[in-house]
Amino acid sequence: MLDGMDINIFSLIIPSLLAAFAIGRGEAGALATAALVSSAFGGWLAGVLSDRFGRLPVLHVTILWFSLATILCGFVHNYDVFLAVRVIQGLGFGGEWAVGSVLMGEIIRKEIRGKTVGGVQSVYAIGCLLALGLFCAPFALFAGPNAWRILFVIAGLLGIPLFIARMRMRLEGFQTAEMSAHARTKTDGLVFLQIFRSRYIGRTVLASLMCLGMLNSAPYIAVYDIGTFCGYLCAAYLCDLIGRRRKILIFAVASLVIAVSYLQLPIDNALMFILGFPLGFFTLGIYSGIGLQLTEMYPRHLRGAGQGFCYNFGRGAGALRPAVIGFASMQFGLAKALVALSTLSYFIVGACVLLLPENSGMNLEELDRQGKQVSRHSPATSPQLSSK
């Protein structure tokens, strides 16, 4: 929810930032890119730290980090300082998703893991809608050049109750298992680099490319966000019903069809409004369960590092997307450039998901035991990437 809220808030207040800091569109774009890149780094770093120090402690830190950085954004009066704070803020919300997604995948029983984790991910859309509501309130009640500052402060304060609730969370059995796992791995040095060893490198590369292909769109309007929420919930149930890979393939194909239609068909404003629902349903609904897919690929001592790297590789590389579209649009036009990028992106998603294993119903405890044996013996075998 935090990252959905932040993305929408920033997109809504760009005109205010242009006026407040007397900057151009290029500088405003740099603010978005900086947060995106730092969130990618923060996601991987938090994943690595959660493998070493535990999911809950790192999750607590990332939530508080994000909340305080968001509040600080409302008190900055200099562009360079605001850019630095956005980088700091990105570290927080990138880490929060990476660790929270791993935690949810580990504590939910396998029979309902797909619908539960996917359902939790649907709050991203709620965060987007919440941002719209927050935007309307301060700008209506506090009209003036500083309304955007109040918006940041309110958004940051909303994270404090979440932090308190997480601090009260107790998972005794899970925490005991974590302490036992950490006692075995703390002496292993740079254990997180094992995701690049021969047994895991194949799935690490494929999952990273799959995430890169998915991360090619963002929410724009309320109906899009409503479609996103419904897409998340529907996809969450499909994860358990038909399997992770089939769900991703169906949503990838549907996303490509609806995106091309949205860009190429001669549609009026009314039809564009209607198409916003399926556009959000499929293009962001495809994310539902992606954290679950990544969670089921690695044993416990590598899970945070592996999931954090794969997802955030896509998020970080996606920061180059605006530049790629810009240069391509100069040669072929904006619509054709977007269609080409969407086609390439979803082709990558489909190819990678076909090569990755189907992990529906995966027993994480058995995967953890296999991971311990591999760590002890370090065999130079390649990962099995074929489907069941």
pLDDT at 126 over 80: no
Residue 73 lies in a domain: yes
* Residue 259, both tokens: 């995106």
Higher pLDDT, 238 or 361: 238
Measured N-to-C along each axis, helices 55-73 and 79-107 cross at an angle, to the nearest 10 degrees, of 150
Q: Which domain holds residue 190?
A: 2-377
Query: CA 2, CA 11: separation in Å to the nearest integer?
Result: 14
Residue 387 lies in a domain: no
What does the pLDDT look like over 313-366, one tens digit per residue? 877 777 667 667 767 777 788 778 888 888 888 888 888 888 888 877 677 777
Residue 386 lies in a domain: no
Query: Which ranges of the chain does DSSP label H, i.e. alpha helix?
Result: 2-21, 25-53, 55-73, 79-107, 113-121, 123-141, 147-168, 172-185, 201-214, 222-242, 244-264, 269-283, 290-295, 300-317, 321-332, 334-355, 364-377
- Number of domains, the chain: 1
Residue 248 lies in a domain: yes
Residues 317 and 230: beta-carbon distance below 8 Å: no
CATH number of the CATH domain containing 192:
1.20.1250.20
Closest by CA to 7, choosing from 220, 212, 211, is 220
pLDDT band at 222 (very low <50, low <70, confident <90, very high): low
pLDDT at 133 over 60: yes
Angle at 116 between CA 101 and CA 105, to 5 degrees: 35
**Residue 218 confidence (pLDDT):** 37
**Residue 322 confidence (pLDDT):** 65
pLDDT at 183 over 70: no
Higher pLDDT, 187 or 288: 288
pTM for the predicted model, two decimal places = 0.70
Query: CA 11, CA 148: separation in Å to the nearest integer?
Result: 12
378 phi/psi in degrees, rounded to 5: 45, 55
Residue 385 lies in a domain: no
pLDDT at 3 over 80: no
**Residue 217 confidence (pLDDT):** 40
Q: What is the mean pLDDT of residues 51-60?
A: 86
Residues 300 and 364: beta-carbon distance below 8 Å: yes
Residues 74 and 156: beta-carbon distance below 8 Å: yes
pLDDT at 12 over 60: yes
Residue 382 lies in a domain: no
pLDDT at 46 over 50: yes
What does the pLDDT look like over 88-109, one tens digit per residue? 998 888 888 788 878 877 777 7
pLDDT at 25 over 80: no
Q: What is the mean pLDDT of residues 282-289?
A: 79
Residue 338 lies in a domain: yes
Residues 156 and 71: beta-carbon distance below 8 Å: yes
Residue 191 lies in a domain: yes
Q: What is the residue-wise DSSP string for 192-221?
A: GGGGGSTTTHHHHHHHHHHHHHH------S
| Cβ atoms within 10 Å of 120's Cβ, excluding its own | 19
pLDDT band at 382 (very low <50, low <70, confident <90, very high): very low
